[in-house]
Amino acid sequence: MADKYSHRERIEMIMRGDEPDRFAASVWRHFYHKETTAGDLAEAMLDFQDKFDWDFMKINPRASYHVEDWGNRLRWSQNEFRKHLKLEFGVKNIHDWDRIEPLPMSHPVLAEHLEMIRLISKKADPELPLLMTIFNPLGIARYLVGDTETLKEHIDRDPGRIIGALGNITETYINFSVECLNAGADGIFYATLEWASSDNMPYDDYMKFGRPFDLRILDAVREAKFNMLHVCHTNNYLEKLSDYPVRLINWDSSHPTNPNIDRAFEFFGDKTVVAGLDDKGWLWHSRPDEVAHEVGKLKERYTGKRFIFGPSCAVDPELPYENLHALRRAL
């Protein structure tokens, strides 16, 4: 039987607190062998959408796109399931942060990804909401220097220098986020990576090095209807960030160190939960009939709630497609 509502109508109804014709869901993953050109990546995203008819598309670009124009170099993977190999980082010592200047949108990799959004927007169902992935400036800084501990060390040694670089990164991604909307995206998928977590940074430090820059980017695109916050990692600051100017929030709701869905509903207000799929647990390891059973339990629990099925993060590319088909049928 055909759906009564379009994807856009269904998501909007859920966000208003109305009950649509069925539950909504989306899943996203990397296609490493297809990530090196705008055309190939657009094709991979559209093919994945054609297979599963998700209710929104989280555009999953190569994770390094944020930093390549500042000097990161990689060896591209030709294997669908293997990550690209990092060869060189844009920041090799603490003085290199002074070279991280705001980038124009004409820089090759940023321009390539705007073209990728245009290609997807041109070919996708116009009723399919498109969300472009943006990392927070702290996460981008970690990619520039190569690892979490080095960035922490640089913050401790010269916080003013790092704040200056974070400001320039923020300026770049304010402009890029706006251009994503102009290229056809309906919102941004804003990921905090490992930083909004007590595992890596006390919240007092996140208030200085994370939150102000997050809010500058999100404020610049706050009129976009489908902006989503993704609070990554374990022991996360989900509750503390739940006042961010977005209408949808995604996180790993299955990990015992994070708030579960019921707890999140207590402080989310009118924001919409995008969660529930344990992609490292039952969604990966169960039989298709068991997946349907788990989905059924969640449907029963969250009928009438502002709830959309979503994974903890990008799912492993080797997660069995038969389980994703079982998920989609169970909606």
Question: What's the angle, vertex CA 131, arms to CA 128 and CA 135, rounded to 5?
Answer: 170
Question: Domains of the chain, with CATH numbers?
Answer: 7-286+306-319 (3.20.20.210)
Query: What is the Cα–Cα distance from 326 to 92, expressed in whole angstroms?
Result: 46
204/207 Cα distance (integer angstroms): 5
Q: List Cβ neighbours of 95 (8 Å cut-off, separation of 6 or more).
A: none
Q: How far apart are CA 27 and CA 5, in angstroms?
A: 20
pLDDT, one tens digit per residue, over 321-331 is: 999 999 999 99
* pLDDT given at position 54: 98
Q: Quick one: pLDDT at residue 3?
A: 87
Identity of the residue numbered 1? M
Contact 220, 238 (CB under 8 A): no
Q: pTM of the prediction?
A: 0.97
Please, which pLDDT band fits residue 203 given cuts at 50, 70 and 90? very high
Per the prediction, the chain carries an average pLDDT of 97
Q: How far is CA 34 from CA 39, 47, 116, 188, in A?
A: 9, 11, 12, 21
| CA dist., res. 165 & res. 161, Å (int) | 6
Q: What is the pLDDT of residue 312?
A: 97
> What letters, b where the CB count within 10 A reaches 16 and e where it falls short, cover 124-156?
beeebbbbbbbbbbbbbbbbbbbebebbeebbe
Q: What is the pLDDT of residues 19-47, one digit of tens each?
A: 999 999 999 999 999 999 999 999 999 99
Q: Which two tokens stand for residue 200?
A: 């890596």
The answer to whether 276 touches 253, Cβ cutoff 8 Å, is: yes
Question: Do the beta carbons of residue 169 and residue 140 sit within 8 Å?
Answer: yes
Tell me the average pLDDT across 76-104. Answer: 97
Secondary structure of 134-156 in HEC code, one letter for each residue: EECHHHHHHHHHCCHHHHHHHHH
Indicate whether 1 pLDDT > 70. Answer: no
Q: Pairing relation of β-strands 85-88 and 130-135?
A: unpaired
Contact 232, 193 (CB under 8 A): yes
**Per-residue model confidence as pLDDT tens digits over 214-270:** 999 999 999 999 999 999 999 999 999 999 999 999 999 999 999 999 999 999 999
Buried b (16+ CB within 10 A) or exposed e, 166-187: bbbbbbbbbbbbbbbbebbbbb
Scanning the structure block, which residue is given the tokens 């207590």?
266
pLDDT attached to residue 20 = 96
Q: Residue 100 in 3-state DSSP?
A: coil
- pLDDT at position 2 is 76
Range 149-174 average pLDDT? 98
SS3 content of the chain, % helix, strand, coil (to 5): 50, 15, 40
What single DSSP character describes residue 273? Answer: E
